[in-house]
Amino acid sequence: MKLNIVLVEPEIPQNTGNIVRTCAATGAKLHLVRPYGFQINDKYLKRAGLDYWNKMEIEEHISFSSFLEKYNPLKTNMFFVTSKGTHKYTQIDYSNMEEIFILFGKETKGLPEDIMKKHIEKTVRIPMLDGIRCLNLSNSVAIVAYEILRQNNFDNLKETSERLL
């Protein structure tokens, strides 16, 4: 199973750096969709991503429309993460999917509403208490990514051989 994490117009370099670490640790491919709210050489981005940049695959896209042209939501296993999603992220059976795209919007606005309405059945949410707008972007990526990996028995991920007694 190939996991793709897609950040549409990320704004906060520390979040993107943390997501770089998650992608490196899980083997997920990271897609970054312009425009960004930071420079790709931003010191906070690099510090949060530490030395993981060369351990992962990153694909940049000039716009959201160009990303959707290349990876058609109707022809791929693509899911849009939003607090207004139709399904809980755990209700999707990811176990028989060869390749999966999980899309996350910018920190201040999320994903474009017109796209989510167009693909309403492919929207997923992380349950939260009423009155809470959203979780941190890097936390949301980790939550959904690890559910997908769990459903796929953490294939290709090394289990630590050093255990506490």
- List per-residue pLDDT tens for the chain, 165 residues long: 999 999 999 999 889 989 999 999 999 999 999 999 888 775 666 665 557 777 889 999 999 999 999 999 999 999 999 999 999 999 999 999 999 999 999 999 999 999 999 999 999 999 999 999 899 999 999 999 999 999 999 988 876 656 655
* Integer Cα distance of 129 and 72 in angstroms: 33
Whether 130 is covered by a domain: the verdict is yes
Cβ–Cβ < 8 Å for 148, 104? no
Three-state SS for 138?
A: helix
| Beta-ladder partners of 124 | 81, 87
- In the prediction, which pLDDT does 6 show? 98
Three-state SS for 139?
A: helix
Whether 41 is covered by a domain: the verdict is yes
Phi, psi (deg, nearest 5) at residue 126: -100, 120
Query: DSSP letter at 157?
Result: P
Whether 163 is covered by a domain: the verdict is no
| Beta-ladder partners of 77 | 100
Q: How many domains does the chain have?
A: 1
Whether 50 is covered by a domain: the verdict is yes
Read off the CATH number of the domain in which 51 is found: 3.40.1280.10
Whether 160 is covered by a domain: the verdict is no
70 lies in which domain range?
A: 2-151
| End-to-end Cα separation, the chain, in angstroms | 33
- In the prediction, which pLDDT does 133 show? 87
